[in-house]
Amino acid sequence: MPQLILNTMIDAPLSVVFDLSRSIDLHKYSAKKTGEEAIGGVTTGLMEMGQQVRWRARHLGVRQTLTVRITAMERPYFFEDKMIHGIFCFMEHQHFFEEVEHGKIIMRDIFNFEAPFGVLGRLAECLFLTRYMRRFLEERNQVIKEVAESGRYIAYIPDELFY
């Protein structure tokens, strides 16, 4: 089973980076080239513990749906989402946030997945799927970084959540 670990340094408040990472609206913006849209569950705003969202998108030329649920959360340091329905045999994504210097945050993603179709799925993981998923997550993290550092996060986080 592939495991991707990404570390992204972001110069923004911890709470802002945490909230942007669980924003449905920012996810739609960061994944616009795959046409991702939230079609069920929480479809806008910030995901909370126990909530789920159903996504529809086109990945690798295939239109698919995926439902994930927030299964653990320790605000503003950690949350985890797991696939409860979708094309993968297994998928979980852990998000860690740590202030390393005043105003500088390390956002760490640990992403585990397993492709369907047995041996063919393992081959796909090796040949292209792991690289595809890494690039998808890196692009998403770059959008989070740019929005957080530019101050444009106000469009994605309700005022009452600044803490």
| pLDDT value at residue 161 | 54
CATH of the domain at 31: 3.30.530.20
| DSSP-derived secondary structure letter, 127 | I
- Provide mean pLDDT across the span 78-104: 94
Q: Please enumerate in sequence order all residues whose Cβ is within 8 A of that of 47, keeping only pairs 6 or more positions apart, or say none.
A: 22, 23, 24, 53, 70, 79, 81
Please state the domain count of the chain.
Answer: 1
Q: Where residue 102 falls among pLDDT bands split at 50, 70, 90?
A: confident
Asked if residue 31 is part of any domain, the answer here is yes
pTM greater than 0.85 (yes/no): yes
Q: Is the peptide bond before 76 cis (omega within 30 degrees of 0)?
A: yes
List the beta bridge partners of residue 95.
Answer: 79, 109
Asked if residue 163 is part of any domain, the answer here is no
CA–CA–CA angle 80, 33, 112 (5° rounding): 25
**30 lies in which domain range?**
3-158
Identify the residue with better confidence: 158 or 143: 143
Cα separation, 36 vs 21, in Å, equals 16
Among candidate residues 87, 85, 110, 106, the one with its CA nearest the CA of residue 97: 106
Cα separation, 113 vs 2, in Å, equals 6
Asked if residue 145 is part of any domain, the answer here is yes
Asked if residue 13 is part of any domain, the answer here is yes
Cα separation, 32 vs 161, in Å, equals 26
Mean confidence (pLDDT) of the chain:
93
Tokens of 50: 């126990």
Asked if residue 148 is part of any domain, the answer here is yes
Q: Please enumerate in sequence order all residues whose Cβ is within 8 A of that of 58, keeping only pairs 6 or more positions apart, or say none.
A: 34, 35, 64
Q: Where residue 133 falls among pLDDT bands split at 50, 70, 90?
A: very high
